[in-house]
């Protein structure tokens, strides 16, 4: 079997490679997923028997001014992959986001809740989901996730550790609520889905709920414990209104994960503080 990972340098792709070094990981220099010709040629030549799409345009704020680029990667490219998967009966696992929802519900989002994105990034990801369900309904698995972090790449955990070492104090938003997700755990779910032909739309995050402020406090606590921080700075809660950004964020984007037990053979994510502790320990061990 040749399981292809679209993406090479991102958090998820690197965690996937750690789990299975036989995976074929292709980056933007290896394949142009916005070109149907490139997708069909390269995937056919490599006898691909499964696809994990770990590639996406994720610059949430830049997407507001780069709408075309966001839709090319998050929607048009996904349509190309979906058509190949359908024509060749190849399972395709696609990672989506909590940003396909508006964030006003106030209770965990179900997999079949209405898609109501409030920004270009979320709208482009929602369009990618629609393409999968239209062109490869029997061969695709959509895994929505949120707040992904790991020892690799750029993410909230690594940014907080850097800022806590550099700044005298920080103000962190406390009125956006969600669930962090370990990229390592997400990678395990993606591999299970592609190997077992899991179908449909599912949600996967770490268990538990927090605000960005809660998340930051836990990062500081565990960072100090693992000697990644040699000082403790004041971390203050602030409202979203105090930190305006080009793109609006969902205020509540907790994802209901009840479909996991059935579709993923009982796979249950660990609590976010447990997963966070493991990632910070990894960062400390490689410092």
H and E: helices and strands count for the chain: 10, 12
Residues 6+ apart with CB under 8 A from 170: 160, 163, 164, 216, 233, 234, 235, 236
Point out the catalytic residue in the list 121, 135, 149, 252.
121
Determine the Cα–Cα distance for residues 202 and 95; give it in Å rounded to an integer.
10
Tell me whether residue 121 is one of the annotated catalytic residues: yes
Q: Return the SS3 of 278.
A: helix
CA separation, residue 110 to residues 125, 131, 211, 256, 258 (Å)? 17, 20, 20, 5, 9
Give me the count of residues in the chain.
287
CB 155 within 8 A of CB 148: yes
So which residues are the catalytic ones? 121
């Amino acid at each position: 079997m040749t399981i292809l990972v679209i993406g090479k340098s991102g958090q998820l792709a690197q965690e996937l490679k750690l789990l299975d070094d036989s995976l074929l990981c292709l980056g933007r220099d290896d394949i142009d997923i916005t070109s149907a010709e490139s997708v069909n040629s390269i995937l056919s030549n490599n006898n691909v028997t499964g696809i994990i799409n770990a590639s996406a345009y994720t610059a949430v704020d830049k997407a507001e001014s780069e709408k075309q680029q966001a839709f090319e990667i998050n929607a048009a490219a996904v349509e190309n992959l979906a058509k190949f998967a359908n024509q060749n009966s190849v399972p395709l696992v696609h990672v989506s986001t909590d940003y396909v929802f508006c964030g006003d519900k106030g209770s965990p989002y179900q997999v079949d809740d209405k898609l109501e994105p409030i920004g270009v990034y979320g709208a482009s990801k929602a369009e990618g989901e629609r393409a999968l369900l239209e062109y490869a309904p029997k061969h695709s698995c959509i895994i929505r996730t949120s707040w992904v972090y790991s020892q690799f790449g750029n993410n909230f955990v690594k940014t907080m550790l850097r800022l806590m070492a550099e700044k005298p104090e920080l103000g962190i938003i406390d009125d956006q609520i969600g669930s962090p997700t370990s990229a390592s755990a997400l990678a395990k779910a993606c591999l299970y889905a592609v190997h077992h032909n899991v179908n449909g739309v599912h949600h996967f995050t770490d268990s538990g709920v927090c605000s960005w402020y809660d998340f930051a406090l836990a990062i500081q606590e565990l960072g100090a414990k693992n000697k990644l921080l040699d000082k403790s700075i004041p971390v203050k809660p602030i409202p979203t209104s105090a930190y305006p950004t080009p793109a609006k964020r969902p205020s509540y984007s907790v994802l209901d994960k009840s479909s996991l037990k059935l579709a993923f053979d009982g796979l249950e994510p660990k609590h976010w503080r447990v997963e966070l502790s493991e990632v910070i320990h990894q960062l400390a061990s490689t410092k």
